[in-house]
Amino acid sequence: MKNLVQLGFAALLSMNVMVVKAQNKNTENSTLWEVSGNGLTQPSYIAGTCHIMCSQDFEIKPKVMKALEKSNQFVMEINYTDPAEIKAMQKMGQADQKISDQLTPEEAKELDKILADYGTDLKTMDNSSSQGLYSLISYKTAPCPQTELKFYEIELLQNAIKNKKKIFGLEKVEDQMTSINAAYDLKAVIGQLKMGKEYTIILRKMVEAFKKEDVQSMYTLFKDDKIMNAKQEKAMLTNRNKNWAEKMPEMMKKESAFFAVGGAHLMGDNGIIPLLRAKGYTVKPVSSL
């Protein structure tokens, strides 16, 4: 379990893109999408994922596994099989400057009180990065013990390794940390920690939407002001989506690829799907394979 937690750490940090608040009535909803046309000799697939779930809710639909089986490459947000990336992930939870040195005595006292609700304290977390603090939210709000947590991408990765798929990443750990730092500084993370039980409700709604393959709701939740403002959306979604959409064509051109990214990255004006369509690809929801 410890190894899986380390591998899934970066995914946990981006759980905030998975809040659910249904608003868009667009009927294009699926957790699996086929990409074809524009010179591709064989289709590729994009799976919108729910990064973290409890075992009782966890399921990878047969069509998703079939799409992975048909693909030559398995591409995640980050390549968890790259030793350099694993090393970077192990370091990213720590910071050079103590949290307490970045706060006033009053702010430090308040944070210590907040952390008590997460089963820890400021003394224990003082050498953590703001991302290390943020990861507490995912573990605390999940309605099950840590031993029952499932990481969607990790389950897919294990299958891809078993079937000897080529493994790649759309970005580096350093890239993801740059995005997270631009979106959430220490004060913003503390603000998120204050939400406490609200995140438990959010996670529950997220899981229900994912099980219904409602990626539209997974995206529109991201617009909730409690979770993210316009600047944070640009850093966490828009910029990253555009970078990925520039890399994906070359990957698909070489061989069929199966992309697994957080479900909130698919929709919206700057989502992966409209960005690829703008490049001339046919991207359609998959009901079955």
pLDDT tens digits, one per residue of 95-123: 889 999 999 999 999 999 999 988 899 99
Please tell me the predicted confidence (pLDDT) of residue 14. Answer: 43
124 assigned to some structural domain: no
Kindly tell me if the per-residue pLDDT of 2 is higher than 50.
Answer: no
Kindly tell me if the per-residue pLDDT of 222 is higher than 70.
Answer: no
99 assigned to some structural domain: no
Q: Which residues of 143-179 are buried (b: 16+ CB within 10 A; e: fewer)?
A: eeeeeebbbbbbbbbebbeeeebebbbbbebebbbeb
The residue-averaged pLDDT of 128-133 equals: 84
104 assigned to some structural domain: no
Residues 6+ apart with CB under 8 A from 31: 47, 48, 49, 61, 64, 210, 213, 215, 263
The residue-averaged pLDDT of 65-78 equals: 97
56 assigned to some structural domain: yes
Q: Which tokens in the block code for residue 123?
A: 């003394």
107 assigned to some structural domain: no
120 assigned to some structural domain: no
Is residue 152 within 8 A of residue 51, CB to CB? The reply is yes
Please tell me the predicted confidence (pLDDT) of residue 261. Answer: 95
pLDDT tens digits, one per residue of 169-210: 999 998 988 888 888 889 989 988 988 777 777 778 888 888
118 assigned to some structural domain: no
224 assigned to some structural domain: yes
Percent of the chain's residues with pLDDT above 90: 51
Total domains present in the chain:
1
Please tell me the predicted confidence (pLDDT) of residue 253. Answer: 94
Domain span at 163:
2-94+129-285
> How many CB atoms lie under 10 A from the CB of residue 127?
15
Kindly tell me if the per-residue pLDDT of 65 is higher than 70.
Answer: yes
